[in-house]
Amino acid sequence: MTNLILAFIFCAALSAPAAAQQKRVKSEESLFLDLQKTGLGSLTEFEEKRKFLETVKLEKQKIQATMLGNVYENAFEYYRQGNYEDAKDLAAKILAIDPNHQDAQMLMEASNQLRSSLRPGMSERLMIEDRFKTALSFYNEGRIVEAHRKMEEVVKLSPNNIKAKYWLAKMKDDLKEYYSEKGVEAYKLRDLKGSLDNFYNALLIRPRDAATVDWITRIEDELRQQKANDKLKEALEFYAQGKLRSAYEGLQRALEIQPGDPKAGKLMAEVKLEIENGYLASGKKLYGARKYTDAIGEWDKAKPYTANMSYLNKLISRAREQMKLEADEKRRRAEEAARRARAEEEARAREEAARRKAEEEAKRKGVSVEEVKKPMGPSAENRLASQQHYLEGLKYFQNSNYEKARDEWTIARQLDPGNADAGAGLKRIEQILSGGQ
């Protein structure tokens, strides 16, 4: 739909009125209405709008400039035919969309002047002659900018005026020199921006003037260096205050303006090193407190500032390994505690069974429990289980796992208090753990 509207607008704008007929451009009202309604289309996603907004804006400006240029041609055709009323109306509509359209302003002023009843008998030739004289008067008074603008209007309103073209060319050279001189004056006063504006104005008049290009190149370089120095100064102030991140960001901006600035580059290296060292120290402190995840986070923050990425990766890898080791050890201890609890529960169950059996035996024989227990040693089952726990403990002892060996031998002694090997083993472990030989 948008393409159809644009095609219609262009067709309407390009269709100039016939020489023998003085009628309005076809669908003129629709042309302006459609132009004003031109929008972003059917974009709905925020990110899509954000991404293409600037491009769309520039394209709209190009389209608008092209369309208004075509409409102006139609307005000028009305003016050329002497249809000043329609020329004025069409110029007014151009200005409603673009108030700064200079050609439309000029055409509207000329149309008003020629159709005005204040000067009866005013002809286009007399009006052009008045403007020509005014331009020369400005020129003789040294008002080069105004003279050039007024003579340019004469040439635009009367394209076949050879005399006006000659004077316009002469004024262009003078205007170029005028802007160049203003540029040099501003440069001497160290008003670099003002100087640059004047030299660009000179370049617009004579686009291939080598001297003007050299001046612009020189001033652009100085402006970049000036901006870079300002950013560098700002970064130095932040650095002096200990605001390292702000100093880093300021130096980034300075190096974006002047990538090869040695002072900014040197200070950037120092700032990055200090920021990196801060994160390194913080990470090591957290590592010492066994806060490994937080330590890794600090070392990750140091990565944008480091010149030794392998060292940071090594620290992070070590922290992750330590996390795994401690997690494995915690799991092992939990499993060992559960196993020990089960063994103790089993031993208590066996003791309880033995007690009940002794009570039943004492009741049957009509004696006390102590008398039943006295002659009885551990059951064959308990002696066998005790020996098995002793052998398990021996394996742990040989592998220097003294805690597990002690657990096994303790259970062995509980099952068979007379297990001398288990008793000797327990004594040996106590000597080792206490630092004895």
Closest Cα to residue 169, out of 135, 133, 213? 135
Q: Do 46 and 57 contact (CB within 8 A), yes or no?
A: no
Does residue 93 lie in a domain region?
yes
Distance CA 221, CA 203 (A): 17
Does residue 268 lie in a domain region?
no
Give the pLDDT of residue 370.
66
Give the pLDDT of residue 374.
54
DSSP letters for 396-437: HHHTT-HHHHHHHHHHHHHH-TT-HHHHHHHHHHHHHHTT--
DSSP letters for 102-114: HHHHHHHHHHHHH
Q: What is the pTM of this model?
A: 0.43
Give the pLDDT of residue 14.
42
Q: How far is CA 415 from CA 15, 377, 382, in A?
A: 114, 11, 5
Q: Which residues contact 394 (CB under 8 A, 6 or more apart)?
A: 405, 425
Question: Is the four-CA dihedral 26, 101, 117, 74 of positive or negative sign?
Answer: negative
Output the furthest CA–CA distance in the chain (Å, rounded): 156
Domain boundary residue, one of 190, 219, 248: 219
Give the pLDDT of residue 47.
55
Does residue 160 lie in a domain region?
yes
Closest Cα to residue 250, out of 237, 266, 241, 263? 237
Q: Which helix (H) or strand (E) holds 29?
A: helix 28-37
Does residue 66 lie in a domain region?
yes
Give the pLDDT of residue 106.
82
**pLDDT tens digits in sequence order for the chain, 437 residues long:** 344 334 444 444 444 444 334 444 444 445 444 444 444 444 455 555 655 667 767 777 788 788 888 888 888 888 888 888 888 888 888 888 888 888 888 878 888 877 764 454 457 888 888 888 888 888 788 787 888 888 888 888 888 888 888 888 888 888 888 888 889 999 899 888 898 898 888 888 888 888 889 999 998 888 888 888 888 888 888 888 888 889 888 888 888 888 878 888 888 899 889 898 999 999 999 999 989 899 999 999 999 989 889 999 999 999 999 999 989 888 988 888 888 888 888 878 888 887 788 778 777 777 766 665 554 567 788 888 888 988 998 888 888 888 888 899 899 888 888 888 988 989 888 888 877 55
Question: Is the four-CA dihedral 329, 333, 335, 339 of positive or negative sign?
Answer: positive
- Cβ atoms < 10 Å from Cβ of 281: 12
Q: Which helix (H) or strand (E) holds 271?
A: helix 262-288
Domain boundary residue, one of 172, 195, 219: 219
Structural domains in the chain (count): 2
Domain boundary residue, one of 219, 243, 265: 219
Q: Which domain range does residue 141 map to?
A: 2-42+49-219
